[in-house]
Amino acid sequence: MLEIQEKFGTEGYEELVKKHSSVVMMHITEALDRGEPIGFIAYSYEGDHTCIYDIDDGGDIMLCDGLVRSVLFKSCLKAIDKAVFEIDDQSKLERLRKLRFIPQDGNTAENIDSFMNGCENCRNK
Tens of pLDDT, residues 71-80: 999 999 999 9
- For residue 116, pLDDT beyond 90: no
- For residue 115, pLDDT beyond 90: no
pLDDT at position 28 is 97
- For residue 50, pLDDT beyond 50: yes
Reduced DSSP (H G I as helix, E B as strand, rest coil) percent helix, strand, coil of the chain, to 5:
35, 30, 35
CA 81 to chain centre: 14
CATH of domain 2-123: 3.40.630.30
Q: Where are the domains of the chain?
A: 2-123
Average pLDDT over residues 57-83: 94
Give the Å distances, CA to CA, from 78 to 12, 15, 59, 63, 75. 27, 28, 29, 23, 5
- For residue 118, pLDDT beyond 90: no
Could you say which DSSP state residue 50 is in? E
C-alpha closest to that of 100 among 70, 60, 69: 69
Count of Cβ atoms closer than 10 Å to residue 123 Cβ: 6
Q: What is the mean pLDDT of the chain?
A: 90
